[in-house]
Every structure is written in C-alpha cells, then in structure tokens.
C-alpha cells in the first residue's frame, strides 16, 4: 500500500537528508522472488495463480493486450521494470533489510494480503480516484 508503506521511509529520509543523498533505497516488507509472491498469493487467497514473465514488450503485451493501445504506458512500465532489475529490489549489493530497520512493523506480502483482503482484482489508485 503506497500510502502507508512509504511513510516511515520518507520520514527517515527527510529527517537525515545528508545521510541518504544520492542513494536508491528499497521500501519493502519482504524479500521474495516472483514465484514466492505468486505462491503466497495462492496460499492466502485460495486463488490459483501462475507466474508469467512480462519483463519485455512481447511478454507484457501478451499478458496485458489492452496496454497496446497506450504506447506511453507500455514504455513507462518497461522502463520501471528495467530500472527495478538494474537498480532495485534484486540488485546484488542492495541493503534489503533497510526498510525493516526503519519500520519493523511494515507488512510482509502475506500480512498485506490478509490485512487488505486484496484478491488480485484491479484497484484504482491515485489522484483521479
């Protein structure tokens, strides 16, 4: 949940700007592979799910064909994916425990699913909603 998950991290960064200047920091509650994410989702919700790669244009449009109508969205999603792979969550030298030190009560993926009741449906989010 971007409204609650990022709050403690943002407060920490704003409280110590010099310490975090120039850093890319993970805001996470769990360290999971894509397959772990799917397995946990299935176990918690009881809904059968499978991991499908959408890291490249062909994979993305195969699984989300409606996105083809919005080239800007496709480029943005592929850019975010590329960034996450190169600089984000799975980067070998990433301090993945940082979020847990900043907010020890941050939800794990399983806790998020149980607390939110989310079952995979599309959920509008943002200023327009």
| % of the chain at pLDDT higher than 70 | 90
Segment 4-9 mean pLDDT:
80
Which H, E and C letters describe the chain, residue by residue? CHHHHCHHHHHHHHHCHHHHCCCCCCCCCCCCCHHHHHHHHHHHHCCCCCCCCCCCHHHHHHHCHHHHHCHHHHHHHHHHHHHHHHHCCCCCCCCCCHHHHHCCCCCCHHHHHHHHCCCCCCCCCCCCC
| pLDDT > 90? residue 95 | no
Q: Where are the domains of the chain?
A: 1-31+93-118, 33-88
pLDDT of 129 reads: 45
What is the tens place of the pLDDT at every residue in 37-84? 999 999 999 999 999 988 899 999 999 999 999 999 999 999 998 888
Task: Please state the φ and ψ torsions of residue 71, each to the nearest 5 degrees.
Answer: -60, -35
pLDDT of 19 reads: 95
How much is the pTM? 0.76
Residue 5 and residue 29 in contact, taking contact as beta carbons nearer than 8 Å: yes
Q: Which of these, 36, 1, 25, 5, lies nearest to 103 by C-alpha position? A: 5
| pLDDT > 90? residue 33 | no
At 6, the pLDDT band (50, 70, 90 cuts) reads confident
| pLDDT > 90? residue 93 | no
At 128, the pLDDT band (50, 70, 90 cuts) reads low
């Amino acid at each position: 949940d971007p409204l609650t998950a990022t709050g403690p991290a943002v407060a920490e960064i704003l409280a110590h700007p010099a310490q975090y200047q120039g850093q890319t920091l993970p805001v996470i509650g769990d360290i999971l592979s894509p397959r772990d994410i799917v397995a946990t989702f299935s176990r918690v919700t009881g809904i059968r799910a499978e991991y499908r790669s959408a890291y490249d244009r062909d994979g993305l449009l195969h699984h989300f064909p409606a996105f083809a109508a919005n080239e800007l969205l496709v480029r943005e999603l592929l850019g975010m994916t590329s960034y996450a792979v190169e600089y984000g969550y799975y980067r070998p030298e990433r301090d993945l425990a940082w979020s847990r030190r900043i907010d020890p009560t941050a939800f794990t993926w399983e806790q998020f699913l149980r607390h939110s009741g989310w079952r995979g449906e599309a959920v509008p989010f943002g200023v327009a909603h």
